[in-house]
Chain A
């Protein structure tokens, strides 16, 4: 019995006999019936699953080529040699509501509870480029996030917070360049130079057309604005991650895991190509691109997605785009648990869902994490529910010991096979996108939108017919669905207050300076060789409102309208 161990080698006759016996026994099993039994043979994204995986499923895996070790190309096992032993992920809770004053108070609370970075949620008018007193803003001010109309609001938002020390992530896309300009201006007013500012801005406009739908200009001029911003931040803000290419919203819109993976990376590559086309060296900007994924409820599928994302990205950046700096090959990402997996029914159950989802993100090697609050399906979260969400991360980081070993699922027959399948499906989507001529062309053809709508409808059907069970929604329901949860209410008073405040800003500033700054911005919009960022910073410093800046840009670029498909 001396040479029994064969892990990694050829299966022995004994092992093969065991396999045959298991297959025979397995074939005799009777699949369970009833609610939830209709989807036991596939993932949430409808990838077919075997009952059990074995060595044959990873026979094609080339250890050096496909896995290597943590911190080594192609980074399947993570980008850091020691994983979370050297550094935990950043716990970064997305927050913003009402006025800048209210949100500033929440930030002070979160920082006092041990949160490590800030993440700004803006309200719909801010995201769409309207001031709080615009007709389009009615009913929306301060509802989905904080209302930021001008530099005056940005100054209040960061009052008492050391912008030179804290890192800030801002989730804004259409007006992203304006928000960066406001952030720079607010910091510089406090004497903190832009070169010291750390954080990131989402600024991923492609996924807006694909999924989130918060666009302003049409895709082509919007790409110019983004490239200008990346170029400016690359040169002047060495600690700033210039863009956060996001799959989160693609998934929330109903995509599968493979679609989220493929569409997000395709967007990322489109930005890489646009920056290279603008004359930038790939290694000058690529190390500061970052990504943002969803952690949905199918545990292993999500882990496979994260691992595949790193591998695909590394390969393309090195082989296709010729990046030489290993930092350009490393996909760094933020994760948020899936809002769409949360339920309004028995909302406390969401705490449990979030914990599993967060675990998948950690096992997948995320760099930062937002855990959703249990009440977010009903309203913006209360302070109490946000605290539970943050504590969920702290329990994971400090009690479970899952941080002690890097990529603990590496080598699992199942997880490796699923990682390969994710990569295969993503590559197939890249080929389809290329057939359209690229991401923008595929957007214009409605390709992504249709793929997502189809997937979302398929999923909804599987819930309707109880192939899939959502606890408390289509099974295990009870009558009084909601207890006495306190919900955060944003009142109409907030809207009136904010509208009055933006009007006061307009009255108190130097009108001449405003007009001149906007005029120069307009000229720059029409001149593709002029970087827009310095002009935006001038406008912001003159207290131009976001709406005024956007209107000026729209006068050159126009506004996008979508051809809707369902």
Chain B
């Protein structure tokens, strides 16, 4: 792989809890990836636009406000509408297991909940986004 993986770390909705998003952003960067952090209060439309414009391999969404069952699906819809479903979409936050399962079924590739080791997240992103890169180039 010539150029490093590019990942958009995103915060959506009105949720200001950005500790997790920033820690993940830094961990991915330390693992050699290029990280674009969207900042707070982005709409699903903005997030997907950013990912397309930045030619990102993946989008990681962090939600701790309880709005995950609304905002994750809205991003999935946007990815579909913008024909960008090849972009790896994953996320995390305070998400109860049954919701996490439901989100995975709907197409979110991985959902990490509190206590997930950073290495596990880094490994997932490397693997999933690496595969995407191999396919899309």
Give the interface of A toward B (CB within 8 A): 124-125, 127-128, 130, 136-140, 143-144, 208, 212-214, 252-254, 340, 343-345, 377-380, 453, 456-457, 460, 464, 470, 472-474, 482, 487, 490, 561-562, 564, 566
Residue numbers of B with Cβ under 8 A of A are: 9, 13-19, 21-23, 25-27, 35, 37-41, 65-67, 69-71, 74, 94, 96-97, 113-115, 117-119
19 A-B residue pairs with CB within 8 Å: A124-B13, A124-B65, A124-B67, A128-B14, A140-B67, A208-B16, A213-B40, A214-B16, A252-B19, A253-B18, A344-B94, A377-B94, A378-B96, A379-B96, A380-B66, A561-B39, A564-B40, A566-B22, A566-B37
Find out whether the CB atom of B25 lies under 8 angstroms from the CB atom of A377. Answer: no
List B contacts of A487 (CB < 8 A).
96
Which of B14, B18, B19 has most chain A Cβ within 10 Å?
B14
Nearest Cβ on chain B to A317's Cβ, whole angstroms: 30
Chain A residues whose CB sits within 8 angstroms of the CB of B16 once the complex forms: 208, 212-214
Q: Is the CB of A460 within 8 A of B118?
A: yes
Contacts of B69 in A (CB 8 A): 139
Known interface pairs A345-B115, A564-B39; A138-B22 also in contact (CB < 8 Å): no
State whether A254 touches B19 (Cβ < 8 A). Answer: yes
* Apart from A143-B65, A564-B38, A566-B26: 11 A-B pairs, beta carbons within 8 A: A124-B65, A125-B14, A138-B67, A139-B71, A252-B19, A344-B94, A345-B115, A453-B22, A457-B26, A473-B115, A564-B40
A456 touches B23 (CB 8 A): yes
Please name the 8 residue pairs, one residue from A and one from B, whose CB atoms are nearest each other, closest first. A139-B70, A213-B16, A143-B66, A139-B67, A124-B14, A564-B39, A566-B22, A473-B115
CA distance A378 to B99 in the complex (A): 11
Nearest-Cβ distance from residue B22 to partner chain A, whole angstroms:
4
Contact A144 B65 (CB under 8 A): yes
B14/A130 in contact, CB under 8 A: yes
Which residues from B are CB-within-8-Å of A125? 14
Chain A residues contacting B74 (CB-CB under 8 Å) are 138
Q: A253-B19, A379-B66 are in contact. Are A140 and B13 (CB under 8 A)?
A: yes
Q: Which of A139, A144, A344 contacts B114 (CB 8 A)?
A: A344
Residue of B nearest to A485 (CB): B96
Smallest CB-CB separation from A474: which chain B residue? B117
A566 engages B25 (CB within 8 Å): yes
Say whether B40 contacts A137, CB under 8 Å: no
> Nearest A residue to B71 by beta-carbon distance?
A139
From A342, which residue of chain B is reached at the shortest CB distance?
A: B114
Shortest beta-carbon distance from A461 to chain B in Å: 8
Report the minimal beta-carbon distance from A35 to chain B, rounded to whole angstroms.
13
Query: Which residues of the partner chain A approach B14 to less than 8 Å between Cβ atoms?
Result: 124-125, 127-128, 130, 136-137, 140
Question: What B residues does A456 contact at CB under 8 A?
Answer: 19, 22-23
Chain B residues near A344 (CB-CB < 8 A): 94, 113-115
| Assembled-state Cα–Cα distance A378/B15 (Å) | 15
The reply to whether B19 and A343 contact each other, CB–CB distance below 8 Å, is no
Q: Which residues of chain A come closer than 8 Å to B38, judged between CB atoms?
A: 564
B94 CB to nearest A CB, Å = 6
Given A136-B14, A562-B40, A564-B37, A464:B117 Cβ within 8 A: yes
- Least CB separation from A482: chain B residue: B97
Known interface pairs A379-B94, A453-B22, A562-B40; A139-B115 also in contact (CB < 8 Å): no
CA A343 to CA B115, docked complex, whole Å: 7
Nearest A residue (CB) for B23 = A460
CA of A208 to CA of B17, assembled, Å: 11
- Cα(A278)–Cα(B1), bound, Å: 61
Output the least CB separation between B46 and chain A (Å). Answer: 12
> Closest CB of chain B to A486's CB: distance in Å?
11
Tell whether, in the assembled complex, residue A144 and residue B22 are in contact, meaning their CB atoms are under 8 Å apart. Answer: no
How far is it, in angstroms, between the C-alpha of A139 and the C-alpha of B43 when the chains are bound? 12
Question: How distant is the Cα of A377 from the Cα of B17 in the complex, in angstroms?
Answer: 13
Which residues of chain A come closer than 8 Å to B117, judged between CB atoms? Answer: 464, 474
**Quick check: A457 and B115 within 8 Å, CB to CB?**
no
- Tell me the bound Cα distance from A482 to B25 in angstroms: 28
CA distance A472 to B114 in the complex (A): 12
Q: Return B75 CB to nearest CB of chain A, in Å.
A: 12
What's the minimum C-beta distance from A89 to chain B, rounded to whole angstroms?
Answer: 28
Which residues of chain B are within 8 angstroms of A378 by Cβ–Cβ distance?
A: 94, 96
Min CB distance, B44 to chain A, in Å? Answer: 10
Kindly state the separation between the CA atoms of A470 and B117 in the bound complex, as whole angstroms. 12
Smallest CB separation, B79 vs chain A (Å) = 17
How far apart are the CA atoms of A482 and B97 in the complex, in Å? 9
Tell me, rounded to whole Å, the shortest Cβ–Cβ distance linking B122 to chain A.
10
Q: Contacts of B97 on A, CB cut-off 8 Å?
A: 482
| Complex contact A124–B15 (CB within 8 A) | yes
CA distance A561 to B97 in the complex (A): 34
CB distance from B6 to the nearest CB of A (A): 15
Complex formed: what's the CA distance from A382 to B92 in Å?
A: 23
Chain A residues in 8 Å Cβ range of B94: 344, 377-379
